[in-house]
Structure 1
Amino acid sequence: MLKVKVNLKSNWNRKTNDLWSLGILLLGVMIILLPLIVVLLTSFAPPGAIPGILPDRWTLANYQEAWYRGQFLLAFVNSTLVAIAVTALQIFTSALAGYALARLKFRGRQAVLLLILATLVIPFQLLIIPIFLILKWGHLINTYWALILPSAANGLGIFLLCQYFQTIPVELEEAAAIDGANRLQIIWEVMLPLARPALVTLFLFTFIGEWNDLFKPLVFTTRPELRTVQLALAEFQEQFTNNWPLMMAAITISTIPVLVLFLIGQKQFIQGIATTGVKN
């Protein structure tokens, strides 16, 4: 009888803890989603509406007007081009450097890894003057390369793939080497397919970061034809400061691509983050 009472009490405590956890999670979700809901509701409201109030009349005119007045088509093309180029370069450099740090045994390997990790604490703004001078010396200011090359390699991507490669059994590489594969073939045909979750994670981190970047386009470019989405959004907000529905529509337009991209790759993203913390 006493054992039954103890079990009932234990079950009750467990259910109570689960309810508290669920309540805290729901509260956190509401806090995170509330600004997004306000932006979305206001973007469908007619001109002059108060932000956050449910509109009495729904309209898509704000999106059409924001799209053409902000010239977002050119900005979307530029941001997509820059984000894809930077992402491809970071995956390439991170895969080679991460594999070397994970598999090759050489003196000073840990020191190199620590040095790479140390770069993560250095703000990009601190390096802006030497980067600007290098780009100016190479006549790259006001070109796409000024937006791509400064982010071609990243310490986070190298560390991410290094950690993931260490979770892959060495026996798979040895089997590929016995079959006649060289080092590059092993990386391309064995390691990279197995590191898909980490690659997707790096892709999402890099693409979203470049899509949301305002600093580089603001400093390295002045030509209107090189405007990115965030630069176009900043200029748009300066012009329509008092038109809340129009501004919220522009913000929604600039957010949709990265939101869709994250929803598509969220499963691989979670798996990649979870696995890179495990080391064999």
Structure 2
Amino acid sequence: MQWQKWLNFPKFPFLRVLGLTGGAILVLSPLLLVVITSLSPQTGVILPSSFTLENYQQAWQRGDFLLAFANSTLVALAVTGFQLVTSALAGYALARLRFRGQQAILLLILATLVIPFQILVIPIFILLKWGSLLNTYWALILPTAVSGYGIFLMRQFFVSIPVDIEEAAVIDGASRLDILWSIMLPLARPGLVTLFLFAFIGEWNDLFKPLIFTTRPELQTVQLALAEFQEQFTNRWPLLMAAVIIATIPVVVLFLLGQKQFIRGIGTTGIKN
């Protein structure tokens, strides 16, 4: 297109910089508004004359975020750990082993990606009640311990690794588990980091499971704390925005730490059938 030629033309590099700067401002402006509101001492003021950190102190105390952070971290790490193990094992089996019904199983796993979790909530609730797992950490962990997306993601990474590496390991006497642990998993590190970020952030931001499967206050997660916060202090927008930022900081830091592997993982997914 003509506009692409203008942006790539050496005499007009400022157009590219201007376009990227404008896009960044457009994307970051809502976040900037949230930060300014959280620092405002008054409600309904877009540009306050002074700033304060008192909203953060009140939000931390009233939301009991220390307990919420502990519960969300425990659940997110447990679910992420289960998904990493199950996705690595199932993905490797689908990528390297040959058995009857392999393609059917892969298609079935892909089909689960289009099924909303809300449709399965009633049978899952019945199973958790039957197993006396309601109002426990297991009610927040087990329903998402296996991920169809994670299995497909790891399968695609294992397929992209040359078979010659495994054949050389087999000649040296390595078993399947040795190959998976010592060779395949290190080579698939971008996929593991991508899956870790997706699983952890997804569980951190999950409101549905804690809302349905738990009623005990000591099991309150970050998203439940935010939901109750909004109900109690709907008109206190600075306080609510401060609580939102407190809940968002951990996942932002986590994403920044793993962004290189994440981008590489997203770019590699699906390069082979």
TM-score using structure 1 length: 0.91
Larger Rg belongs to = 1
Deviates more, 1:12-21 or 1:143-152: 12-21
- Cα displacement (A) at 1:27: 4.0
Distance 1:81 1:92 in 2: 17
State the Cα deviation string for residues 232-259 of structure 1 (Å, max 9, x = none).
Answer: 1100111111111111100000000000
Distance 1:218 1:12 in 2: 52
Residue number in structure 2 paired with 1:66: 59
The alignment partner of 1:191 has SS state of helix
| Contact 2:7–2:15 (8 Å) recurs in 1 | no
Q: Name which of 223, 238, 249 aligns with 2:242.
A: 249
The alignment partner of 2:258 has SS state of helix
Uncovered stretches (5+) of structure 1, i.e. residues with no partner: 1-9
Describe the shift of the 1:129–1:24 C-alpha distance in structure 2 as closer, same or farther (beyond 3 A): farther
**Is 1:119 matched up with 2:112?**
yes
Paired-residue identity, %: 69
Q: Give every structure 1 segment of 4 or more consecutive aligned residues whose post-TM-superposition deviation is greater than 4 Å.
A: 10-13, 16-25
Q: Name which of 227, 230, 249 aligns with 2:220.
A: 227
- Cα displacement (A) at 1:13: 7.2
Q: 1:175-214, aligned counterparts within 5 Å? A: 175-214=168-207
The alignment partner of 1:181 has SS state of coil
Residue number in structure 2 paired with 1:31: 26
Amino acid across the alignment from 1:38 = L
Distance 1:115 1:268 in 2: 28
Distance 2:5 2:255 in 1: 37
| Contact 2:7–2:16 (8 Å) recurs in 1 | no
Uncovered stretches (5+) of structure 2, i.e. residues with no partner: none
Superposition RMSD in Å: 1.9
Distance 1:189 1:264 in 2: 24
Residue number in structure 1 paired with 2:94: 101
Residue number in structure 2 paired with 1:6: none
| Contact 1:49–1:55 (8 Å) recurs in 2 | no
Amino acid across the alignment from 1:159 = F
State the Cα deviation string for residues 128-167 of structure 1 (Å, max 9, x = none).
Answer: 0000000000000000000000001011000100001011
- Cα displacement (A) at 1:32: 2.3
Distance 2:231 2:250 in 1: 23
- Cα displacement (A) at 1:48: 2.8
Distance 2:117 2:7 in 1: 49
How many aligned residue pairs are there?
A: 269
Amino acid across the alignment from 1:81 = L
TM-score using structure 2 length: 0.93
Q: Name which of 22, 37, 42 aligns with 2:37.
A: 42
Distance 1:152 1:116 in 2: 14
| Contact 2:91–2:151 (8 Å) recurs in 1 | yes
Distance 2:262 2:6 in 1: 35
State the Cα deviation string for residues 65-113 of structure 1 (Å, max 9, x = none).
Answer: 1001110000000000000000000000000000011001112211111
- Cα displacement (A) at 1:28: 3.6
